[in-house]
Every structure is written in structure tokens, then in C-alpha cells.
């Protein structure tokens, strides 16, 4: 999985959106970003971003919806 992630290129704005959503998500749940759970949600956030959820708010909504399923 790391090899696939290494081949993905992000622009600065992409990173800002992903980081903002991830920081907000982890803060809401009191999860450390560098924990196993934090890394897992980062992977999910990247997948959701590539699926078209490309704003911080849209990503957070998608993460909340995913959590409910």
C-alpha cells in the first residue's frame, strides 16, 4: 500500500484540505494523529478525497457518513 501512496502527487491545496479535515476529525474524537487509528483515518480520508470529496467540509461529512456504516 505504501508504494501506491508514494506514487500519488498532491498539490499544496490538496494537502491543506486533507490535513484540515484530518485534524478536525481527530480533535473531535480525541485521537492522536500519529496513532494507529489516526493513520487509518488518514488513509480513508485520502480515498474519499480521490472519490470526489475535495473540500474540508465535504470530507468531514463523508467521514461521518462512513463512520455510521
Residue corresponding to grid cell 476529525: 25
Q: Is residue 32 part of a domain?
A: yes
CA distance 26 to 12: 21
Q: What is the pLDDT of residue 8?
A: 66
Helices 12-29 and 56-68: crossing angle in degrees, nearest 10, is 40
Asked if residue 5 is part of any domain, the answer here is no
8 domain-assigned: no
Q: Are the beta carbons of 50 and 59 closer than 8 angstroms?
A: no
Residue 55 inside a domain? The answer is yes
pLDDT digits 0-9 by tens, 15-57:
999 999 999 999 999 999 999 999 999 999 999 999 999 999 9
Is residue 13 domain-resident?
no
- The residue with cell 491545496 is 13
Tell whether 9 is covered by a domain: no
pTM over 0.85: no
Round to whole Å and give the CA distance between 23 and 17: 10
Domain span including residue 29: 19-68
Residue 4 lies in a domain: no
Amino acid at each position: 500500500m505504501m508504494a501506491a501512496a508514494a506514487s500519488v502527487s498532491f498539490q499544496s491545496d490538496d494537502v491543506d484540505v486533507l490535513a484540515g479535515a484530518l485534524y478536525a476529525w481527530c480533535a473531535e474524537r480525541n485521537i492522536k494523529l500519529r496513532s494507529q487509528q489516526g493513520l487509518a483515518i488518514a488513509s480513508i480520508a485520502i480515498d474519499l478525497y480521490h472519490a470526489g470529496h475535495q473540500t474540508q467540509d465535504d470530507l468531514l461529512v463523508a467521514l461521518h457518513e462512513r463512520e455510521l456504516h
